[in-house]
Amino acid sequence: MPAHVVDHPIIRTRLSAVRSQGAGTAEFRAAMQDISRIMCADVCRDLETEPYDIQTPVAAATGHQLVRPVVLVPILRAGLGLLDGFSQILSEAAVGHIGMYRDEETLEPKSYYSNMPDHLSESDVILLDPMLATGSSSIEAAHQLKSQGATRICFACLIAAPEGIAAFEAAHPEMAIFTAAIDEKLNDKAYIVPGLGDAGDRYFGTD
């Protein structure tokens, strides 16, 4: 499935903010939350709804509700930066967590934590990680979700490298990828170029 670029004028301006080296923690965080709220609307576009009866103060009417529960799954820690915006829109969503870090020598993902809600298998699952670089963490996280019973999964990120998209599509061809931008390439340290640097450090002010 081809990666879907969520293009929106506000996303474009906020992406410039998060990319800028001069943006401090407050500006970076606010911009990332703006982007993720707008992206969330697009990512949810194909969620199924069903009608139900409601009563307004004036008359009976038809309301609409999501057919399935939604589970948001940020990959710790940088995925929490997308979770803030997504959970403001999907306030009813359960949140599962996958803890993963990148071994700086092998560049391979190491899993250290997983906690999922019981209803994962009957849910629409949105996997969150801002940077799709080599793809190894998100590919491994998606494998974990499938092994725990998830069948409807999509992946949302902020910036993707072509190498990461290709690897993710090869591993999980049925899964939709949503991104705010597709950048040029990876550098020799597997950072996205031009990218934004280390998303976790910048979101949490630890750089």
Strand pairing partners for 126? 72, 154
The smaller minimum CB distance to ligand URA, of residues 85 and 195, is found at 195
- Residue 192 near ligand URA by CB under 6 A: yes
Q: Which stretch binds ligand URA (CB under 6 A): 24-32, 36-44, 110-118, 193-201?
A: 193-201
Residue tagged 């697009």 (tokens): 42
Q: Are 130 and 100 in contact (CB under 8 A)?
A: no
- Residue 204 near ligand URA by CB under 6 A: no
Q: Which of 133, 139, 150, 180 binds ligand URA (CB under 6 A)?
A: 133
Which token pair is 24?
């401090």
d(CA 54, CA 176): 33
Which token pair is 201?
């450090």
- Residue 139 near ligand URA by CB under 6 A: no
- Residue 23 near ligand URA by CB under 6 A: no
Q: Which of 76, 176, 191, 204 binds ligand URA (CB under 6 A)?
A: 191
d(CA 185, CA 194): 8
Helix 162-171 / helix 136-147 crossing angle, nearest 10 deg: 20
The smaller minimum CB distance to ligand URA, of residues 152 and 202, is found at 202
Contacts to ligand URA by CB under 6 A: 78, 131, 133, 191-192, 195, 198-200
